[in-house]
Structure formats: structure tokens, C-alpha cells
């Protein structure tokens, strides 16, 4: 752990890793010990905490080289901007940076810092250099920060880090290729305006992460969102419904499963090349129907196992079953939108899942948990219909 307010989350990470059977040893920089006491981590890990490079007693018990040899995996959480800078330049002036240099095991970092610090070109260069050296980044995530800012820089949640680190070598989707769409689309009216919707991408990103956690090879086609895709997911960024159609269709034929969680615009205007000027009276907007990506994927031969979403404000079940049948889908996950909880932008959601021979209700839960449950159903149906 390096120093940062997110250090308190690492206590939960240690607890979760131990719960999964991992043997955990904690190394803290002096700055990290200012945020949380080493005693907390000693109690949670069941092992003495290492804080100093030049502590003769600690070096006798398990020195930095022995620690580096012992570890099968090194996760630095939180990883501050200062720490990333040091690691990327090979500095080794404390136990943690020395351990990194001595380690031969896979190294993961969970960055945590103010969004402006994460966005600074020098931090991005340092992160890029570390990635090119094989360091895997988990996060950061977007959201409200301890300093009051909102943006990318929060440390990934301990549950996500744990799931990422302990992704099973043989999950139910091991080797299966999964394509996910997420987020909104933006349909330009002119060079300065666009039509969009309230999708944050949280549901689609959680699905992509859960699929990767089950061993799938995941590609994610995403509209504009404030989220960062985890390192093991191949991200394809798009903006408009037409771009999303092109991206999905160029990927879809090689995929085993397609999950359309994106809120794709059903209609798009013809974009003016110059800014539309204000005029007296009403202004009429002509909208053209976009191509239905989901229906086009389901109509491929052979088609991937195709899962659609239905976002409804009324008659949820009826509309969802209609879309399942009309678009010839293998499964549809229906959710209420426009309610107080769940749906667009919320961290939680609830789903009613339908397939040609059955249905299941997944109760309101955190979108990551819900994504895992949905992927469980998809894996089951996928294997029983495409043996
Ligand atoms: O992103 P979040 O803030 O986390 O919110 C999640 C969500 C509410 C956006 C998500 O759970 C969801 O419901 N996504 C689908 C939203 C939607 O566009 O629903 P729909 O009922 O209008 O469309 C039905 C299906 O057709 C969807 O799978 C959609 O991706 C697909 N579609 C729609 C139009 C189009 N041109 N092409 C499509 O593929």
C-alpha cells in the first residue's frame, strides 16, 4: 500500500482475499501508515506488516528479496501518483518500490488519486510505461472523490479488485468470446449539439467485467461514458448509433455471445454542418430511424447467442417478451427505467430475464452483483443451447 485516503479500502481487500483462501502479507509505505495503522492489517492478514526496508529484525524474519520470492502475485492498492512515478522510473528508495523491482510474479496496481492528478499527462505517461512493462491496472474508477471532485481517480472497489485477481482459471465462460455493448449513443444535431439519453454505461461495464471474471474473452463496444474499462477487456469506443452498428457488426460474427446493454438511439437527425441559428417560431426536427443492431446480430448465420435488454416505463413484461420474439433473441433482460431506484445511472438495478422456455427475476442489487447473476444464467443457457 502507498499513501492515500483510499488506504481504508485496502482493509476490506485484505479481508476479502483471506476469505477466498489467499495468504496475504502487507507492505506499507511510511505515508500509508499515516492513513491506517499497520495493526489493522496485521489483525486482518494474520501476518506481521512490513513497513521498513532497513529494519534489521524484519529483514531477518523475511527480507525484501524473500518477500518478493514468496509472493505469487503483487497488488499495490492504493497506488498513488508518486508511487506510479517511482515504479515507472525504477526508483527503489523504500520497501515497496524495492519489492516491485525484485518481484518476478504478476504485478497489479489499483491507482487512487485526485482526478486532475490522474489526468495529468505525466501520470498518464508513467501509467503507459508501466503497462508496457506488463503491470496490469485495475481502475481507477470514476465517481465522487474524498476531496469533493468528481471524476476518474477513485480506487476500484475491493470486491472488483478481488474478483479481478482471483478470476478463475476455468470459469463457466472460459475461452468463450463475449461481445458487450454499453452506454448511450450521441446523435449530433450540428457541430455543437447532440441528442443522447441517460445511460451511464454502469450496467454494460459490470457485465463485461463479470464475463471476464468467468473466464471469457471480452470485447466492449462503448458509447461515451465516464468509466474506465478494466485492462483485460478490449475496449472499442464509439459515439453515434451508426458507429456502434459498424463496430458491433464488424466484431459480431466471430463471437459466441452478444449482450446488447447499450441504450442505442432509435432515431437520429441529419447533422447540420454549421451551427443551427435561432429563429422565430417553432423549429421542426426530422429524425431518421437508426439500424437495429440487436436484430441485425440475431439475424446473422451463424448468430452468436444473442441477449438483448429492454428498458421500459410501462408494461415491462409484455414489451420485453415482444422484443424477444420479434427480434428472435436467445434471451432478454428487462428493466424498469424512470423509477426512483435502478435503471439509468443508478448503481443498482433489478432485472426480469426471459428466454423462449423460461424466465427468472433478479432482485434489486448492486449492478456488479446483478451482472454476475445474469452472466450465470447466460452461461447456463448458452451451454445448453450451443453444446
Ligand atoms: O447504462 P446504465 O446507466 O447502467 O443503465 C443501464 C440501462 C438501463 C441502459 C440498461 O440496463 C438497458 O436497459 N439497456 C438497453 C436500453 C435500451 O435501449 O433499451 P430498448 O428497450 O430501447 O432497446 C432494446 C434493445 O435493442 C437493447 O438491447 C438495445 O441495445 C437494442 N437496440 C436498440 C436500438 C437500436 N438501434 N439498436 C439496438 O441494438
232: containing domain: 177-274+281-385
Q: Which helix (H) or strand (E) holds 91?
A: none
333 Cα: distance to centroid of ligand 1 (angstroms): 10
Mark whether 55 and 194 lie in a shared domain: no
* Residue 206 and residue 74 share a domain: no
- pLDDT at site 112: 96
Contact 316, 336 (CB under 8 A): yes
Q: Which atom of ligand 1 is nearest to the CA of 309?
A: 28
Does 55 have pLDDT greater than 70? no
Domain-ending residue, one of 135, 166, 197? 166
Nearest CA to ligand 1 atom 18: 263
Taking CA atoms only, the protein residue closest to ligand 1 atom 10 is 261
pTM exceeds 0.85, yes or no: no
Whose C-alpha lies nearest to ligand 1, atom 26? 294
Structural contact between residues 17 and 93, judged by C-beta atoms closer than 8 angstroms = no
Atom index in ligand 1 nearest the CA of residue 345 equals 3
Same domain, 155 and 203: no
> Is the model's pLDDT at 344 over the cut of 70?
yes
Same domain, 346 and 327: yes
Dihedral (Cα; 121, 126, 127, 131), 10-degree rounding: 140
Task: Judge whether 36 lies within some domain.
Answer: yes
- How many whole angstroms from 244 Cα to the centroid of ligand 1? 12
Mean pLDDT of 61-65: 75
Are 207 and 98 part of one and the same domain? no
Mean local confidence (pLDDT), 114-137:
92
Asked, for residue 1, whether it belongs to a domain, the answer is no
Q: Are residues 45 and 158 in the same domain?
A: yes
**Residue 332 counted as domain residue:** yes
Counting the structural domains of the chain, the total is 2
Q: Percent of the chain beyond pLDDT 90? A: 76
- Residue 277 corresponds to which cell in the numbers above? 441559428
pLDDT confidence bin for 23, thresholds 50/70/90: very high
Same domain, yes or no: 49 and 155:
yes
| For ligand 1, mutation pick of 180, 199, 242 (most atoms within 8 Å of CB) | 199
- The rounded Å distance from CA 197 to ligand 1 centre is 10
Q: How far is the CA of 260 from the centre of ligand 1 (A)?
A: 7
The CATH number of the domain holding residue 112 is: 3.40.50.1950
Which ligand 1 atom is nearest residue 241's CA? 36
Q: Which residues approach ligand 1 with their CB closer than 6 A?
A: 181, 183, 199-204, 241, 260-264, 266, 290, 292-294, 308-311, 323, 335, 337, 343-345
For residue 58, what pLDDT is reported? 61
For residue 2, tell me if it sits in a domain: no
When pLDDT is averaged across residues 262-279 and rounded to a whole number, the result is 96
Domain identity same for 31 and 106: yes
> Ligand 1 test: best mutation among 257, 260, 267, 329, most atoms within 8 Å of CB?
260
Last residue of a domain, one of 132, 166, 200: 166
- For residue 59, pLDDT over 80 is answered with no
Quick count: other Cβ atoms within 10 Å of Cβ 301?
A: 5
Tell me if 141 is assigned to some domain.
yes
Res. 302 pLDDT band, cuts 50 70 90 = very high
Whether residue 151 sits in one domain with residue 247: no
- pLDDT higher than threshold 90 for residue 53: no
Quick: pLDDT tens for 158-217.
988 998 887 665 689 998 999 999 999 999 999 999 999 999 999 999 999 889 888 899
Q: Which of 122, 143, 166 corresponds to the end of one domain? A: 166
HEC secondary structure over 179-221: EEEECECCEEEECCEEECCCCCCHHHHHHHHHHHHCCCEEEEE
Contact between 126 and 119 under an 8 Å Cβ cutoff? The reply is no
In a domain, 248, yes or no: yes
Q: What CATH number corresponds to the domain at position 254?
A: 3.40.50.10300
Q: Does 269 lie in the same domain as 351?
A: yes
Q: Does 234 fall in a domain?
A: yes
Asked if residue 247 has pLDDT above 90, the reply is yes
Does the residue 23 lie in any domain?
yes
Query: Which one of 261, 324, 333, 371 would you pick to mutate in the ligand 1 pocket, going by the greatest count of ligand atoms within 8 A of its CB?
Result: 261
> Do both 348 and 211 map to the same domain?
yes
Residues with catalytic roles: 147
Q: Are residues 319 and 181 in the same domain?
A: yes
What pLDDT score does 329 carry? 98
Amino acid at each position: 500500500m502507498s499513501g492515500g485516503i483510499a488506504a481504508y479500502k485496502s482493509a476490506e481487500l485484505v479481508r476479502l482475499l483471506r476469505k477466498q483462501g489467499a495468504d496475504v502479507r502487507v507492505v506499507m509505505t511510511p505515508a500509508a501508515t499515516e492513513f491506517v495503522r499497520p495493526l489493522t492489517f496485521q489483525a486482518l492478514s494474520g501476518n506481521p506488516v512490513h513497513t521498513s526496508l532497513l529494519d534489521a529484525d524484519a529483514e531477518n524474519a523475511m527480507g525484501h528479496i524473500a518477500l518478493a520470492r514468496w509472493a505469487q502475485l503483487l497488488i499495490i492498492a492504493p497506488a498513488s501518483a508518486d508511487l506510479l512515478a517511482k515504479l515507472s522510473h525504477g526508483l527503489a528508495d523504500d520497501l515497496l518500490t524495492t519489492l516491485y523491482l525484485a518481484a518476478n510474479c504478476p504485478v497489479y496496481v489499483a491507482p487512487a488519486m485526485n482526478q486532475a492528478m490522474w489526468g495529468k499527462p505525466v501520470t498518464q505517461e508513467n501509467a503507459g510505461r508501466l503497462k508496457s512493462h506488463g503491470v496490469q491496472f485495475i481502475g481507477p474508477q470514476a465517481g465522487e472523490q474524498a476531496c469533493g471532485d468528481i471524476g476518474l481517480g477513485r480506487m476500484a472497489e475491493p470486491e472488483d479488485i478481488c474478483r479481478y485477481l482471483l478470476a478463475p482459471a476455468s470459469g463457466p465462460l472460459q475461452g468463450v468470446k463475449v461481445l458487450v455493448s454499453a452506454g448511450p449513443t450521441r446523435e449530433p444535431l450540428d457541430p455543437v449539439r447532440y441528442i443522447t439519453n441517460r445511460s451511464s454505461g454502469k450496467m454494460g461495464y459490470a457485465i463485461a467485467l463479470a464475463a471476464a471474471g468467468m473466464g471469457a474473452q471480452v470485447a466492449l463496444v462503448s458509447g461515451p461514458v465516464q468509466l474506465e474499462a478494466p485492462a483485460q477487456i478490449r475496449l472499442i469506443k464509439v459515439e453515434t448509433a451508426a458507429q456502434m452498428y459498424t463496430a458491433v457488426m464488424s466484431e459480431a460474427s466471430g463471437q459466441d455471445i452478444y449482450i446488447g446493454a447499450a441504450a442505442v438511439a432509435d432515431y437520429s437527425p441529419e447533422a447540420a454542418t454549421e451551427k443551427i441559428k435561432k429563429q422565430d417560431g417553432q423549429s421542426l426536427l426530422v429524425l431518421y430511424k437508426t439500424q437495429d443492431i440487436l436484430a441485425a446480430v440475431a439475424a446473422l448465420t451463424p448468430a452468436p447467442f444473442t441477449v438483448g435488454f429492454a428498458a421500459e416505463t410501462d408494461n415491462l413484461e409484455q414489451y420485453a417478451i415482444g422484443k424477444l420474439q420479434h427480434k428472435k433473441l436467445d434471451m432478454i433482460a428487462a428493466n424498469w427505467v424512470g423509477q426512483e431506484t435502478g435503471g439509468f445511472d443508478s448503481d443498482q438495478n433489478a432485472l426480469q430475464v426471459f428466454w423462449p422456455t423460461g424466465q427468472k427475476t433478479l432482485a434489486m442489487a448492486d449492478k456488479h452483483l446483478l451482472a454476475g447473476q445474469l452472466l450465470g444464467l447466460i452461461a447456463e443457457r448458452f451451454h445448453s443451447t450451443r453444446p
